[in-house]
Chains A and B, each alone.
Chain A
Amino acid sequence: EAGVAQSPRYKIIEKRQSVAFWCNPISGHATLYWYQQILGQGPKLLIQFQNNGVVDDSQLPKDRFSAERLKGVDSTLKIQPAKLEDSAVYLCASRHTGHGSYNEQFFGPGTRLTVL
């Protein structure tokens, strides 16, 4: 079974530029998460989708961050305009939800963003 896919793996941009990250979850996983992980910290949830609907985006800086999961499968996270403090690893994770499933979530390889 293929894992969570993310691209790009690395991105370097200048502040005030825009950037987009893509995630394809494990097949059949209805729940998709985007996390931000700053060096030395645990992952911080940015947004959670259940199919194509948003479950929780309370910690998403909506003035500059946006995310969508239009068809309930893959998802895109965008930052516009980027700030220096957005330098972090952006992790996508997915989880199967349904009868008999456990709550385990699995992470993709992440996208390391550097804002100069």
Chain B
Amino acid sequence: QKEVEQNSGPLSVPEGAIASLNCTYSDRVSQSFFWYRQYSGKSPELIMSIYSNGDKEDGRFTAQLNKASQYVSLLIRDSQPSDSATYLCAVNTGNQFYFGTGTSLTVIP
């Protein structure tokens, strides 16, 4: 059973702070890693993908991957109330994708 685990949350941060979301996965041969944002009542929206060890930055978002530790994280800098959502970690192994249960983030104005 391949597992993807995320920090349980809910997570609350003040506006302008850094939000840190964490994810671990069990399958060492996993190849690709994704972060999705899901607003309440909406479908998941892809915000970041990362394929190799290290950091990948896109605007206020930074994804970090450490394959040796089987760990992937998402940092959101200068958090905004519009970032309030559930963040899903997804791991791709071969043709299959495995999702975590999500971490709920609330950014407090």
> Could you list which residues of chain A lie within 8 angstroms of chain B, going by C-beta atoms?
31, 33, 40-45, 48, 50, 55-56, 89, 91, 102-110
Interface residues of B (CB under 8 A from A): 4, 31-32, 34, 36, 42-46, 49, 51, 88, 92, 95-97, 99-102
Contact at B101–A41, with CB atoms within 8 Å? Answer: yes
Closest 10 CB pairs of A and B: A42-B99, A103-B32, A107-B43, A110-B43, A42-B101, A103-B92, A43-B99, A107-B44, A109-B43, A42-B100
User: Given B31, B32, B95, B100, which contacts A31 in the complex, CB threshold below 8 Å?
Assistant: B95
Q: Chain A residue with minimal CB distance to B34?
A: A104
Give, as a whole number of angstroms, the nearest-CB distance from A35 to chain B. 8
Expressed in whole angstroms, the Cα–Cα distance for A106 and B45 within the complex equals 7
Are B95 and A108 within 8 A (Cβ)? no
Q: Which residue of A lies closest to B95 (CB)?
A: A55
Question: Could you list 23 examples of A-B contacts with CB < 8 Å?
Answer: A41-B102, A42-B4, A42-B88, A43-B44, A44-B99, A50-B95, A55-B95, A56-B96, A102-B32, A102-B49, A102-B51, A103-B31, A103-B49, A103-B92, A104-B46, A104-B49, A105-B34, A105-B97, A107-B36, A107-B44, A107-B45, A110-B42, A110-B43
**Do A45 and B45 have beta carbons less than 8 Å apart?**
no
Return chain A residues, CB-CB under 8 Å to B43: 89, 91, 107-110
A41, A42, A50, most chain B CB atoms within 10 A: A42
Measured between beta carbons, the chain B residues less than 8 angstroms from A102 are: 32, 49, 51
Instruction: Choose among B34, B44, B45 the residue with the greatest number of A CB atoms under 10 Å from its CB.
Output: B44
CA distance A101 to B49 in the complex (A): 13
Q: Which one of B31, B36, B95 contacts A56 once the chains associate, using CB atoms below 8 Å?
A: B95
Contacts A31-B95, A105-B46 supplied; 9 other A-B pairs, CB < 8 Å: A33-B97, A41-B101, A43-B88, A102-B51, A103-B32, A103-B92, A105-B97, A107-B45, A110-B43
Q: Note all chain A residues with C-beta closer than 8 A to B51.
A: 102
**Assembled-state Cα–Cα distance A15/B95 (Å):** 34
